[in-house]
A and B are shown apart, each in its own frame.
Chain A
């Protein structure tokens, strides 16, 4: 099993809809989780970090963490075409020397 898994997509949603991006991880001891956004040809930029179970909201973005299920998600409300990008889930894994482990990314396409 890979350390961090994501659906590769592409995930297509209409403008204004909620986009839901999912990520699972294998290291049960992981404590830190991150979502990055990467536009084509650009480097990743940090969107949110989450460390505790539950929801964390920042503008149109909500990160959800469930450590028991080893699952972290990112919801994007009122999706805009400018949200079209690849979203990377990252986990600090104790199994991996406390290094960041990135998922393969999910490509999101918001259709106008």
Chain B
């Protein structure tokens, strides 16, 4: 099956610092990658959609200058949380789209738990 990895799996940082999260599709090429955020006991919230080689499309209410997304290759997308604050503490999950014919399936990475002190 399709495997997506994320790194790091858990990060604790001080308020005001920046944190980079990597998302890799290990055994397939992902033309599209998605970034989600999930707060405890809440459902997934799509933050942005990134296509390889182009700018990410952000969902309404998501600050593009705070959450920088780069999708430089078909197997790697990065999310950088700039000047993180405690309210940014959350579970960040990426997924990669595996396009087979006319259908798309999203495969999720294991997630990155961010704690901002």
Contact = CB atoms under 8 A, between A and B. Distances in A.
Contacts, number: 44
B105 interface: yes
B contact face: mostly helix, strand, loop, or mixed: strand
Contact of A32 (B34, B49, B103, B107): B103
A43 B103 contact: no
Counting contact residues on chain B (CB < 8 A from A), the size range is: 10 to 19
B43 A105 contact: yes
Given A43-B109, A99-B49, A32 B43 contact: no
Given A98-B104, A102-B46, 8 more contacts: A36-B108, A41-B91, A42-B110, A43-B108, A46-B107, A49-B103, A88-B44, A100-B46
Interface of A: 31-32, 34, 36, 41-46, 49, 51, 88, 90, 92, 98-100, 102-105
